[in-house]
Structure 1
Amino acid sequence: MIYIKDDEFIRGNCPMTKEEVRVLSISKLGVKDNSRVLDIGAGTGSVSIQLAKICTEGQIIAVEKDEEALQIIEQNRKKFNIDNLTVVKGEALEVENNINFCFDAVFVGGSGGNIEDIIRAYSLKLKSHGNMVLNFITLNNLYKTLNTLKDMNYEVECMQVSINKTRKNSYMMTSNNSIFIVTAIKP
């Protein structure tokens, strides 16, 4: 499987799940070529686009509310010639009733501060034994997520990832934000 590098994506000013975190998060989703996957808070669409390349016989649904991000997703969809991605415009909790599928996996990259409600609502659309993978920068969202998933009897794993890379041609290391990756398996 070939993963897409960060600099291949059209980015603009939108948030993007960085390459190494994207690779880890997608691997934790446990998808197959025919999986149906939901991406909540899609940003640039980097996770959705990569998933669409992996799930060639499946379907990817991306939820995004930001107008610039929606334009960037569409540009990336065209650039990578993706036809198995559907983009739903709106805030995750407002469009939840319009998404009438059962998913093999759910990825949450952005929550707009509504993480507990998003987990509870979209858990109903996740198949039994399906994986929900969530990415966070803040301890507050991590804490809320772990407690919500525990209350829902999910099997939960959490890892913290810190990526440091050399800057251009120098040996100077630069670091990205530390990210928490939560993997939750629905009972």
Structure 2
Amino acid sequence: MIHIKDNEFIRGNCPMTKEEIRILSISKLGIKEDSRVLDIGAGTGSVSIQLAKICSKGEIFAVEKNEEAIHLIEQNRKKFDVHNLTIIKGEALEVEEDISPGFDAVFIGGSGGNIEDIIKKYSLKLKTQANMVLNFITLDNLYRALNTLKDMKYQVECIQVSINKTRGKSYMMTSNNSIFIVTAIKP
């Protein structure tokens, strides 16, 4: 797998899926070189860019509503010389009808509080037996997503990941937010 470090991305004030979480989440997607993948709530584009490099013969679509984030995705696309990434500007539920189905995987990194509807709508875009991978910080969104996926008869796995890294000359350990990674296989 192609690995891009966090410090290689052009960053702003927008959320970014951190390096180790990005690696785990992408591995859970089960993608191939020619996969067609959708990234909802793309933020800085770290997942989209990494996906585009891995799926060099595929297509990646990044959905993002925040203008600053869209600008960062465009900057990172240029920096990493990515040509198979399409940026879709807008809120996920508003642009959903403009996105054709047939995705090999869907990653949901942000939902703007509409997780149930996003799962239901974008499930229709996903191929049968394909993976939807979702990242959560809050228990509330995790609970709502798990119940929605359960009702839709998805096969679901959830892991919790806590990453601690050394900082400074004393190697003091600092922790990032604990993240829940949900992998759901469409029936």
User: Aligned with 1:82: secondary structure?
Assistant: coil
Whole-Å Cα distance in 2 between the matches of residues 149 and 59 of structure 1? Answer: 25
Does 2:143 align with 1:146?
A: no
In structure 2, what is the equivalent of residue 49 of structure 1? 49
* Identity in percent: 79
Unaligned 5+ segments in structure 1 are: none
**TM-score of the aligned structures, taking structure 2 as reference length:** 0.99
In structure 2, what is the equivalent of residue 18 of structure 1? 18
User: Aligned with 1:166: secondary structure?
Assistant: strand
Worse-matched range after superposition: 65-74 or 97-106: 97-106
Whole-Å Cα distance in 2 between the matches of residues 84 and 101 of structure 1? Answer: 17
Whole-Å Cα distance in 1 between the matches of residues 138 and 55 of structure 2? Answer: 30
Worse-matched range after superposition: 161-170 or 140-149: 161-170
In structure 1, what is the equivalent of residue 77 of structure 2? 77
**TM-score of the aligned structures, taking structure 1 as reference length:** 0.99
Whole-Å Cα distance in 1 between the matches of residues 99 and 31 of structure 2? Answer: 20
CA-CA distance at 1:20 after TM superposition: 0.2
Q: Deviations over 1:31-73 (max 9, x none)?
A: 0000000000000000000000000000000000000000000
In structure 1, what is the equivalent of residue 164 of structure 2? 164
User: Aligned with 1:147: secondary structure?
Assistant: helix
Contact 2:2 2:50 in 1 (8 A): no
Over the residues paired in the alignment, what is the CA RMSD in angstroms? 0.6
CA-CA distance at 1:102 after TM superposition: 1.2
CA-CA distance at 1:146 after TM superposition: 0.4
In structure 2, what is the equivalent of residue 105 of structure 1? 105
> What is the identity, as a one-letter code, of the residue corresponding to 1:165?
K
Contact 2:101 2:124 in 1 (8 A): no
> What is the identity, as a one-letter code, of the residue corresponding to 2:66?
D
In structure 2, what is the equivalent of residue 126 of structure 1? 126
CA-CA distance at 1:100 after TM superposition: 1.1
CA-CA distance at 1:171 after TM superposition: 1.3
Does 2:32 align with 1:8?
A: no
Structure 1 runs (4+) deviating above 3 angstroms are none
